[in-house]
Structures are given as structure tokens and as C-alpha cells.
């Protein structure tokens, strides 16, 4: 095979990246509204890219007039707020009508710079992909896109009572997949879904595992058992309790109802557990759950378990780490997860995970080592997994130690370095094609 001509400077890393997140701001609190794992992903990736001398400017839609047009998130990371539609009361489903206004705002910011200010566009979620597609063409730079979730995949595994993703999103995603120079997939499974459902070019798909902030999410220096005792004391939780934790957005996709139903099954089987069972649900309504924000509380009442369930609002990462350390096990019965950052955060904190065997969770969780994977969403199956922790009080600590070791391989520095390689490859390929077509 003839070797490719290597042009001077073709392997240069980008100096500055325009990162687009239309529908959710990196400044929003994860766990409520549309803010979740993608917010954490963007914030952490941007910070680590800046640490290796790749500046990042994140464009996001303004949701209040009180925001400054530009806010420094961290050294080398700037958040730019773009006016597009009313500040409040605009659902994610209504945002496609504001993409023209958002695109205008992005181009206004670009027009104030010298040519070549941005070396590359990295978009997150399909709405951002459409804006990035136009920016990429206008600026003559590569488009790197991350789906985060896919309409076809979500619709194939829809939770009861959830709303299917509209055809317009499917069409939009297909267009972005075709337009992108590179597609970043969280796992090899997601890469396969891109190729199967959207006919993505395999040469354009790169697998980069998301990371976890190992400075925040880590076991207590005094050990897992001591850390659990200290975290429970700080959060006002009983020391000898079995604590299965749900953390995340309260919506059908995340299936917190499966945990509550599993707890009801567990108590039916062994009523004596009621005196030492506490089930925290940490998070706020989101997605289709916004239409029925009290549905989960009502379900707990119907199941007769309100005395053991504790609903808590979303919390900052440092306090979330305390909830993870305090828990016996994190329960994640989602219908779909592109990766499952919450599962990795919990494991990094020294807590095992019981999760649905869907999406990226089989990568995030080592079945039988750092937790248990459950096929399907039958509450009885989750109750069976929880019973193992009830019957063997030492299991949580043993698996927690293995979980922390497993999660240690998911650092954001590794993810940022791999992402930078994707950027460099996309830029090199763009220049190579430009030289061929002269």
C-alpha cells in the first residue's frame, strides 16, 4: 500500500474549539430539567482539554436575562450565552424552531474574530449538530459530533408511559451523522448502533469512553467502611441500614419506579427489613416526568413504602459523592444509557451498582465484580439482586473496593487525550482532502 503524503503541519492539534450545547447549559445543576450526564461530560471534557492547551468556547442558549454574554468556567474554558427564543418556558421539543436564531448568534460571535479563530466544531446532541453543521461549512473546519442519545435507540426500548421521539429528530440525526467529519461514541456498542441505525461510515466513528472526576468521586481516605459511616452521619442516615440509592433525573427513561417496585417486593418477602431499609431518591423531574412531577411520590404511597423512601432534590457533585459513599448500592434500572456516568461515579466513590444490562452500562459495570447487571426491568429481578446485599452485609464493602479499582480506569485525562486525537485526525483528514481537490 503506498504511503500517504504527509504535509507540513497536518498533525497539528487544534488551538481552539467551538463546542455547542444548544439545549442545556454546562452551568446548570445536573439531575433536574434537561441537565444530566451530558452537562457533566461537557464541563469535565472542556476543562481537561484546556489543561492540554486546547481552548474551548461553549455556546449554549440563554435561559435568563441575568447571565453575562460570556462567563469563564475555568482557565481556557469560556461559556457563551446565545439569545434564541424566550428565556423561560421553552421545552426542548420546541427548540428546533430556534435553531436559526441560535445559529445567527454563533456566527455573530465568530464574525468578531479573525479568520481561523476556531479550528474545529464539537457538537453535543442532534440540535447542536445542526448548528455545528452550518458553522463547519461556513468556517471551513471539521465537525465532530457526539450523539449522547439516539432517537431510534430510545424508541426501540421505550419505557411505559414515556413519549416516543418524533420523526423530525430521527431525520435530523440522520443528517448530522452524514455531515460530521467524526462521530464520537461512548462505547463500541454505541458505535455499532450508529452504523446499524444511521448507516454511519465506520471510518468516521471513534470510541472514547467518558471519564469520571476522580478527585471528587473517590473512596474516603480512611477506607470504604469508615467513609460510609462518616457520610451517613453527615447525611443523617442510620448506620446499620441497607441503603439502595437512586440518583439522577426522575423520568420514565431512568426507571426509578422499578427500584420502588423492587423495594415493595423485597418488603413483601421479608417484612423485617422495613426497620433497616432507607431508599433515597436524589434528583428532580425531567423529560416526560415534568408533566407528572409527583408521580413517583404517589407510586410510593400506593406501594405502601413512603416510610422508607426519602426524596431529595439534586445536589452539587461534592455532596452527591457523599450520597454515593453512604449508599450500600446504587440502583440504575434505566431503559437506555449511552454510557451511564452515574454508575461510574458511584463505583469511583467505592459503591457497587445494580444496573440494567442496556446501552453502555455493561461497559461501565463489571458484572459480578463491581456490581450486578440485570436483564430486563422486572422488579422481582432487582429485588433478588438487592436481597444479596441484605443477606450479606459485607458484600457492599467487598464489591465497593473492586468498584473503585474498576472506575479508576475512567479518568477524564484519558478521555480528553483520546478526544484530542479525534480532533487531530479530523483536521488532518480535512486538510488532506482539501489538498487532493486543490
196 assigned binding-site residue = no
Q: Annotation-wise, does 38 bind a ligand?
A: yes
Question: Is 23 annotated to bind ligand?
Answer: yes
Ranges of H-type helices in 70-198? 99-111, 125-139, 151-156, 167-179, 188-198
Residue 261 among known ligand-binding residues: no
Q: According to the annotation, is 98 in a ligand binding site?
A: no
Let me know how many helices (H) and strands (E) the chain has, helices first.
15, 14
270 burial level (CB within 10 Å; 0-12, 13-18, 19+): middle
Are 205 and 183 a contacting pair, CB within 8 Å? yes
Q: Which residues contact 427 (CB under 8 A, 6 or more apart)?
A: 10, 12, 14, 119, 120, 141, 142
Residue 403 annotated in ligand binding: no
Using left for φ > 0, alpha for ψ between -120 and 50, and beta otherwise, residue 285 falls in beta
137 is in an annotated binding site: no
Written in H, E and C, the secondary structure of 318-337 is HHHHHHHHHCCEEEECCCCC
345 among annotated binding-site residues: yes
337 annotated binding-site participant:
yes
Q: Annotated binding residue at 324?
A: yes
Spatial neighbors of 192 by CB under 8 A, at least 6 apart, are none
> Which residues touch 344 (CB under 8 Å, ≥6 apart)?
210, 212, 217, 364, 407, 410
Question: Is 327 a known ligand-binding residue?
Answer: yes
CB 219 within 8 A of CB 350: yes
Tell me: is residue 421 an annotated ligand-binding position.
no
Q: What does the block give as the cell for 3? A: 504511503
For 203, residues 6+ apart whose C-beta sits below 8 A from its C-beta are none
64 is in an annotated binding site: no
CA pair distance 246, 324, nearest whole angstrom:
9
149 in a labelled binding site: yes
Contact (CB, 8 A) for 417 and 52: yes
125 is in an annotated binding site: yes
92 is in an annotated binding site: yes
Query: What is the SS3 assignment for 29?
Result: coil
| 375 burial level (CB within 10 Å; 0-12, 13-18, 19+) | exposed
Work out the angle at residue 223's Cα, subtended by the Cα atoms of residues 219 and 224, and round it to the nearest 5 degrees. Answer: 60
Determine if residue 36 is labeled as part of a ligand binding site.
yes
Query: Is residue 274 part of an annotated ligand binding site?
Result: no
Q: How many Å apart are CA 206 and CA 214, to the nearest integer?
A: 24
Pick from 125, 161, 184, 153: nearest CA to 337: 153
Contact 122, 19 (CB under 8 A): yes
Q: Are 403 and 371 in contact (CB under 8 A)?
A: yes
List residues forming the annotated binding site for UDP-N-acetyl-alpha-D-glucosamine.
29-30, 37, 249, 254, 315, 337, 345
Binding site members: 23, 29-30, 34-39, 92, 125, 149, 169, 249, 254, 315, 324-325, 327, 337, 345, 351
**Residues comprising the binding site for 1D-myo-inositol 3-phosphate?**
23, 34-39, 92, 125, 149, 169
Binding region for Mg(2+)? 324-325, 327, 351
Amino acid at each position: 500500500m503506498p504511503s500517504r503524503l504527509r504535509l507540513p503541519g497536518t498533525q497539528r492539534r487544534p488551538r481552539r474549539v467551538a463546542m455547542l450545547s444548544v439545549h442545556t447549559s454546562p452551568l446548570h445543576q445536573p439531575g433536574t430539567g434537561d441537565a444530566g450526564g451530558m452537562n457533566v461530560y461537557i464541563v469535565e471534557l472542556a476543562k481537561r482539554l484546556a489543561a492540554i492547551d486546547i481552548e474551548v468556547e461553549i455556546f449554549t442558549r440563554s435561559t435568563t436575562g441575568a447571565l453575562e454574554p460570556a462567563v469563564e468556567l475555568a482557565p481556557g474554558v469560556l461559556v457563551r450565552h446565545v439569545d434564541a427564543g424566550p428565556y423561560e418556558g421553552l421545552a426542548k421539543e420546541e427548540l428546533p424552531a430556534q435553531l436559526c436564531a441560535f445559529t445567527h448568534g454563533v456566527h455573530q460571535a465568530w464574525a468578531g474574530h479573525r479568520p481561523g479563530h476556531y479550528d474545529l466544531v464539537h457538537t453535543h446532541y442532534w440540535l447542536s449538530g445542526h448548528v455545528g453543521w452550518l458553522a463547519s461549512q461556513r468556517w471551513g473546519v471539521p465537525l465532530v459530533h457526539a450523539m449522547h442519545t439516539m432517537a431510534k435507540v430510545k424508541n426501540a426500548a421505550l419505557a411505559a408511559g414515556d413519549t416516543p421521539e418524533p420523526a423530525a429528530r430521527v431525520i435530523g440525526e440522520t443528517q448530522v451523522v452524514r455531515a460530521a467529519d467524526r462521530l464520537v461514541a461512548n462505547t463500541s456498542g454505541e458505535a455499532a448502533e450508529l452504523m446499524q441505525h444511521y448507516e454511519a461510515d465506520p471510518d468516521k466513528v471513534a470510541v472514547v469512553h467518558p471519564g469520571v472526576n476522580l478527585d471528587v468521586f473517590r473512596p474516603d481516605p480512611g477506607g470504604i467502611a469508615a467513609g460510609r459511616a462518616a457520610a451517613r452521619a453527615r447525611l443523617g442516615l442510620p448506620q446499620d441500614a441497607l441503603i439502595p440509592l437512586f440518583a439522577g433525573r426522575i423520568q420514565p427513561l431512568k426507571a426509578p419506579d422499578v427500584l420502588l417496585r423492587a423495594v415493595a417486593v423485597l418488603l413483601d418477602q421479608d417484612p423485617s427489613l422495613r426497620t433497616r431499609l432507607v431508599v433515597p431518591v436524589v434528583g428532580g423531574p425531567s423529560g416526560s416526568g415534568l408533566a407528572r412531577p409527583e408521580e413517583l411520590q404517589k407510586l410510593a404511597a400506593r406501594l405502601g413504602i413512603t416510610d422508607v423512601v426519602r426524596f431529595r432534590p439534586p445536589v452539587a457533585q461534592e455532596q452527591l459523592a457523599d450520597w454515593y459513599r453512604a449508599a450500600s448500592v446504587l440502583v440504575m434500572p434505566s431503559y437506555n444509557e449511552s454510557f451511564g456516568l452515574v454508575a461510574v461515579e458511584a463505583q469511583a466513590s467505592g459503591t457497587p451498582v445494580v444496573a440494567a444490562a442496556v446501552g453502555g452500562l455493561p461497559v461501565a459495570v463489571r458484572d459480578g465484580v463491581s456490581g450486578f447487571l440485570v436483564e430486563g426491568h422486572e422488579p422481582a429481578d432487582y429485588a433478588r439482586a438487592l436481597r444479596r446485599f441484605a443477606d450479606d452485609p459485607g458484600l457492599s464493602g467487598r464489591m465497593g473496593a473492586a468498584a473503585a479499582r474498576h472506575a479508576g480506569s475512567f479518568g477524564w485525562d484519558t478521555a480528553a487525550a483520546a478526544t484530542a486525537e479525534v480532533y487531530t485526525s479530523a483536521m488532518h483528514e480535512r486538510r488532506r482532502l482539501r489538498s487532493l481537490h486543490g
